[in-house]
Amino acid sequence: MTVRLAKPGVAPGRIFFTYTNASGGGGVEIADAAGEPLWSTSAADLYYENFQQQTYRGRKVLTWWQGTGNPANGGTGNGIGVLTGLDHTPVATVGPSGDFHPDVHEFRITPWNTALITCYVPVRRDLSSVGGPVDGLVLDSYCEEVDIASGAVLLRWSALDHVPLTDSYKPLPATPDQPWDFFHANSISLTPDNHLLVSGRSTCALYQVHRTTGAVIWRLGGKSSSFALTPDAVFGWQHHAIFEDPRTIRLFDNASDGTTTLHPTRVAWLRLDPRGMTASLARSMSIPGSHVTAMGSAQRLPGGNVFVNWGMTPRLSEFSPDGDLLFDATLPTPSYRAFKFP
């Protein structure tokens, strides 16, 4: 990591990110504020993503996903979630359940010591409604809640069961042997009422999903939005959607899939009005001319600063609460998400 800018007001802390090796595989790294490596682990035959600090059973732990990548399936992967102590001693792992393997896109620990994870499984479906074959191959996105201690799957939510194929913005693959990633779940977090907020990149929408029944309570964005969005609140191909307060969602708004671009990539805060069923842009932060077509994350730091990982653009930034750029650094390779912790 190479620090390009560091102004007064940067929050103290260590930076957590992932990298890939030119010869194959990758690793996770903790660096200090000057970009110097403090700790890293890597492997030639494994990829790593989503490296961060979380809380499990009342103690701070380090967590990440590791496994094999699958570029043909749009950057998905099969692997495990890993938990270690801050001293790097093993604590637990979250592994596969039958054909359902933890995927790179999400590994979030809940206050009740379960894990929210994504899984991708190719299945056969009739795709004639979107101009595809009757016996087409589609990549279903699954969102799971798993008890970490026992491995029991408490919820398995299928995007295909709840989202119409026609809601997707993703073009059909060039050849029928490639699975169509119609939904592409890339984040799961908790809503203020302890249900799930699911992000579907390919549908350019967020979904509140009932944690027990799996029913979709509402949709935000995309072709079937339950909320009317003001023009400046429209987002697309987003990542890392989180409720920052009971009525405000923070997300990394990529705003581009490489073919269509809505506006420069930004961190956006969307204010929901559940009575009027409207959504408006509360604020946004961006770097002029930034167009990040994949990956990315945004984190609110304890003092109010915002730490941003620019995904496919291997860059990290930290903004003041007012949006002033305080810190800017480049990474050796893109990191799916990156975080800062004390």
pLDDT at 71 over 60: no
User: What is the structure's pLDDT at 313?
Assistant: 96
pLDDT at 144 over 70: yes
Model confidence over 297-334: pLDDT tens digits?
999 999 999 999 999 999 999 999 999 999 999 999 99
Q: Give the whole-number percent of the chain exceeding pLDDT 70.
A: 99
Model confidence over 251-287: pLDDT tens digits?
999 999 999 999 999 999 999 999 999 999 999 999 9
Spell out the long-range contacts of 152-160 with Cβ–Cβ below 8 A and sequence spacing 24 or more. 153/97, 153/100, 154/114, 155/211, 155/212, 155/214, 156/100, 157/196, 157/198, 157/209, 157/214, 158/214, 159/183, 159/185, 159/200, 160/123, 160/125
User: What is the structure's pLDDT at 76?
Assistant: 86
Mean predicted confidence (pLDDT) in 20-45? 95
| Three-state secondary structure readout of the chain | CEEEEECCCCCCCEEEEEEECCCCCEEEEEECCCCCEEEEEEECCCEEEEEEEEEECCEEEEEEEEEEEEHHHCCEEEEEEEEEECCCCEEEEECCECCECCCCCCEEECCCCEEEEEEEEEEEECCHHHCCCCCEEEEEEEEEEEECCCCCEEEEEEHHHHCCHHHCCCCCCCCCCCCECCCCEEEEEECCCCCEEEEECCCCEEEEECCCCCCEEEEEECCCCCCEECHHHCCCCCEEEEEEECCEEEEEECCECCCCECCCCEEEEEEEECCCCEEEEEEEECCCCCCCCCCCEEEECCCCCEEEECCCCCEEEEECCCCCEEEEEECCCCCCCCEEEC
User: What is the structure's pLDDT at 75?
Assistant: 77
Decide: pTM greater than 0.95.
yes
Task: For residue 74, name the pLDDT band (cuts at 50, 70, 90).
Answer: low
User: What is the structure's pLDDT at 73?
Assistant: 58
Task: For residue 176, name the pLDDT band (cuts at 50, 70, 90).
Answer: confident
